[in-house]
Amino acid sequence: MAAMTSSARPFLNRRLAEFGTTIFAEMSALALSTGAINLGQGFPDTDGPEQVREAAVRALRDGRGNQYPPGPGVPELRTAVAEHQRRRYGLGYDPDTEVLVTAGATEAIAATLLALLEPGDEVIALEPYYDSYAACIAMAGGRRVPVTLRPHHDGDASFRLDLDELRDAVTDRTRLLLINTPHNPTGTVLTREELSAIAELAVERDLLVVTDEVYEHLVFDDAEHVPLATFPGMRERTVTISSAGKTYSFTGWKVGWVTAAPGLVTAVRSAKQFLTYVSSGPFQYAVAEALALPETYFEEFRADLRAKRDLLTAGLTEAGFAVFRPAGTYFVTTDIRPLGESDGFAFCRALPERAGVVAIPNAVFYDHREAGAPFVRFAFCKRVEVLADATERLRKAFPR
Ligand SMILES: *Cc1c(COP(=O)(O)O)cnc(C)c1O
């Protein structure tokens, strides 16, 4: 092979060196080579509502969105997003100046951080964090400051935010708080009290807040999703990010959006226009229709996922895992220590051979790897028979 570089210097630059390949590639390859059931990556194995799929087909046939759609997104979708925020949360946004359509929440996160951060700015993110946060903060030249969610065992076991730790993490260099609720991978839904304290801190320290709410519709039991933008003083400092992927089970469509005050939306759009410019033309029209689905759609979707959560958590408990019952999202985090294990990486690498199931070690979502070491994440957005098969395999692999 011809020499491609004159030195031994690796190609990937220093900003991204630590983000070589994601764990999902490694684990999905393992799933393929072993024939294991993949409960690693979080995508549903059935498509969303037929009428929404048909709406996409119609848009495509009618020639809507087959050419570059408008930079901020098609007006139908921006109006539908604004209407959704108003109807659900009482948040009024102007579809022309306060809504921006993006290539999924992923681009919204990237564009927001690229637009708002100066090199050296600190970003406080809840740890464990969604994997793109760390990479995007790095691409923007920012510095991530993780605040760790800690396991609590009073009542239903869950991961909780320590508000004092959050307050202590703020410095003169802190530019923004990056919040995710409902939270992937822990399934924690921040309470009204916790959100109120975050809002007070943001106002007091004059911080911007970026909030990733892609699981806004996936909350169970008594849990309630409250957008941070609804708290006093927050509307003008909050960039709210959501997406159609999780809510409508079309993760391949990559239709996301930002809602924020005009100055913030303009800034995010400045970065976004040089990333994808525009995307997902016909799907934007279909998602506009999806956002107008009646409340019964969301109720049935939640009920279906709740049943799947209960099936998987019961199976994991029977197999001997300690389970953090998620109040939201479609992930469940477990503790493997009751199985006599403590290293989630080693456990997940062996699990396909050992049990025929793929899971993700939560440690990949931590800077403090040791804090995440014994935790392992499973996705339950799969068909009931797949989850039943997986739990059966786990029970056999860990006989008690
Ligand atoms: C899936 C996910 C995203 C990405 O959403 P897309 O719309 O598919 O880009 C962002 N944040 C969190 C927390 C997620 O789980």
For the beta sheet containing 238-243, the strands, ordered from the edge strand earlier in sequence to the opposite edge, are 99-102, 256-259, 238-243, 208-212, 174-180, 122-127, 143-148
| Token pair 């169970």 in the structure block, residue | 220
Contact 232, 203 (CB under 8 A): yes
- Residue 4 CA to ligand 1 center (angstroms) comes to 35
> H-helix or E-strand containing 37?
strand 37-38
Average pLDDT per consecutive 10 residues, the chain (400 residues; last block may be shorter): 57 86 86 94 93 98 98 98 98 98 98 98 98 95 97 89 98 98 98 98 98 98 97 98 97 98 98 97 98 96 97 97 97 98 96 96 94 97 98 94
CA distance 259 to 69: 19
pLDDT at 9: 73
pTM for the full model? 0.96
| Token pair 């927001």 in the structure block, residue | 112
CA distance 41 to 246: 13
With a 6 Å cutoff on the Cβ, whether 212 touches ligand 1 is yes
- Residue 35 CA to ligand 1 center (angstroms) comes to 26
Q: Dihedral of CA 7/10/14/15: which sign? A: positive
How many CA atoms lie within 13 Å of 333's alpha carbon, on the beta-carbon side? 29
Longest dimension (CA), the chain: 62
| Token pair 């009542």 in the structure block, residue | 155
Query: Hey, how many other C-beta atoms are within 10 angstroms of the C-beta on 311?
Result: 17
Atom of ligand 1 nearest to the CA of 107: 9
pLDDT at 6: 53
pLDDT at 2: 45
